[in-house]
Amino acid sequence: MKAYRASILYFSGFSDQENHRAVLESDGLLVVGPDARGRQVVQAVGPFHQLAPRFAGVPTEHFPGRIIAPGFVDIHIHYPQIDVIGSPAEGLLPWLENYTFPHEKRFSAPDYSAQAATFFIAELLRNGVTTALAFATSHPESVNALFAEAQKNHLRLIAGKVLMDQNSPDGVRDETRQSLLDTEALIQRWHGVDRLGYAITPRFVPSCSAAQLRGAGELAARYPDVWVQSHVAENRDEVAWVRELYPEARSYLSVYEQFGLMRPRAIYAHCIHFNDEDRALMRSTGAAAAVSPTSNLFLGSGFFDYAGADRVGFSYGLASDVGGGTSFSPFHTMLAAYYVGREGQTKSGVSLSPQHLWWQHTGGAAQALGLGGVVGNLLPGCEADFVVLNPQATPLLARKTAQAASLDELLFSMIVLGDDRLVEKTVISQAGSAAGHPQSKL
Ligand code: GUN
Ligand code: ZN
């Protein structure tokens, strides 16, 4: 066992339905140790003065002035797009054609994939992200490289080979039958190995033939605990294209339903151009949205309608969507989500609370993935993935956080002023011990 003494931030519950209040123990103790399966999990969390006598013999690391918080959960990110960040385009479709597809072609080379995977995982950890749902490319080698690197770092990572057998250029386009055989072989090789999970990954409706979508749906039925990930209703030109491809379909989202791709553990990025029938379909099938505000602002895609999502009641969590998204930092994503909420699609928008923003990138995102109670929180039984935040990381952060008169004010200071400098250390749960990743400060 091992214990950590610091201020500790966690949530009082696991689900959106419970009142998941944020709690800050100003002088807290987090005790971590193995569970029956040998996983390193939280054994106790609470005030230091209450817990210290019970755990007197346990080696304790003290982080004075620091805040321990749950590791962040990013539920939509593309590892092959680290070099696509900041590529200007008129909108999604020219961005894909001019920047994204040409970059992704390089991942047919295992060496290229391996060095990108190493950089990507290090960047997640540097930013405090300890669970991610990621796209690879259409090349199986790119998936192997990513999983191998995640496994080495004991990261909880879910990923998949992109399916794209039409409307895609040579070098990234795959072949229908082979793509489904490759997907199944990758599921068998990686799903459930250590902390890894597989996601069946049709890129989006325009890039997949009906036969490929049908095959993906059949695999999703055969492997119910495997994830599904895709994009939907991100951009108006994309929505119009899907209408041309499926003129008889009720909506873009309903095409995924038609092919058996709507179910719990199915995560759809964006979900912007939705009506209430689409929202009800998300809710009734148990699918979840990956809200990607920096991407939506950068590509001019539109604004996720928080009020609509909450009115109908479907599940969602926050995501960076690098490289459409502009930052790995959960602080940047939470701030962009705040801006998007303010703008909204309703007249006045909503003012998302800092606690709710933080929840959407930790416990709420975990719940959207079907991993509520496993990651994204620091209650007993949760896997011990956490960050050590330094609220004095910059002069302005130090000045501002010192004046916070409430937990909401403290969280908002960090959301608005924070970035990778705030994350002093990322600790990953692993069988036997917890591994620290001190951040190199350039
Ligand atoms: N739609 C299809 N592919 C992509 C992608 O790589 N990024 C984004 N943002 N949207 C997509
Ligand atoms: Zn995406």
Among 335, 368, 401, where does a domain finish? Answer: 368
Final residue belonging to a domain, choices 316, 350, 368 = 368
Look up the domain containing 43 and give its range: 2-71+377-441
Which of 368, 402, 418 is the C-terminal boundary of a domain? Answer: 368
Residues 210, 306 within the same domain: yes
Please tell me the distance from the alpha carbon of residue 416 to that of residue 315, in angstroms, as a whole number: 25
pLDDT confidence of residue 435? 58
Encoding tokens for residue 306?
């928080």
pLDDT digits (tens, 9 = 90+) for 315-362: 999 999 999 999 999 999 999 999 999 886 565 678 899 999 999 999
Contact 426, 437 (CB under 8 A): yes
Residue identifier of the C-alpha nearest atom 8 of ligand 1: 324
Contact 19, 417 (CB under 8 A): no
Pair (154, 203) in one structural domain:
yes
Q: Please, are residues 366 and 62 in contact by the beta-carbon 8 Å criterion?
A: no
If asked whether residues 281 and 179 sit together in one domain, one would say yes
Q: Give the CATH number for residue 105.
A: 3.20.20.140
Same domain, 161 and 239: yes
| pLDDT tens, residue by residue, 392-401 | 999 999 999 9
- Kindly state if the Cβ of 266 falls inside 6 Å of ligand 1: no
Choosing from 92, 172, 272 the residue with most ligand 1 atoms within 8 A of its CB, the one to mutate for a pocket test is: 92
Domain shared by 164 and 311, yes or no? yes
The count of structural domains within the chain is 2
Q: What string of pLDDT tens digits covers the 442 residues of the chain?
A: 999 999 999 999 877 666 679 999 999 999 999 999 889 999 999 999 999 999 999 999 999 999 999 999 999 999 999 999 999 999 999 999 999 999 999 999 999 999 999 999 999 999 999 999 999 999 999 999 999 999 999 999 999 999 999 999 999 999 999 999 999 999 999 999 999 999 999 999 999 999 999 999 999 999 999 999 999 999 999 999 999 999 999 999 999 999 999 999 999 999 999 999 999 999 999 999 999 999 999 999 999 999 999 999 999 999 999 999 999 999 999 999 999 998 865 656 788 999 999 999 999 999 999 999 999 999 999 999 999 999 999 999 999 999 999 999 999 999 999 999 999 999 999 865 555 666 643 3
Measuring from atom 3 of ligand 1, which residue has the nearest CA? 203
- Asked if residue 163 and residue 36 are part of one domain, the reply reads no
Q: Which ligand is nearest to the CA of 85?
A: 1
Q: Is 293 in the pocket of ligand 1 (CB under 6 A)?
A: no
Q: Residue whose CA is closest, atom 9 of ligand 1?
A: 324
Q: Which residue has the tokens 């956080």?
A: 401
From residue 237, alpha-carbon distances to 300, 340, 436 in Å are 12, 21, 45
CA 203 to ligand 1 centroid distance, Å:
7
224 and 128 in a common domain: yes
Are residues 258 and 305 both part of a single domain?
yes
Q: Note the pTM of the prediction, 2 decimals.
A: 0.97
Backbone φ, ψ for residue 209 (5° rounding): -70, 165
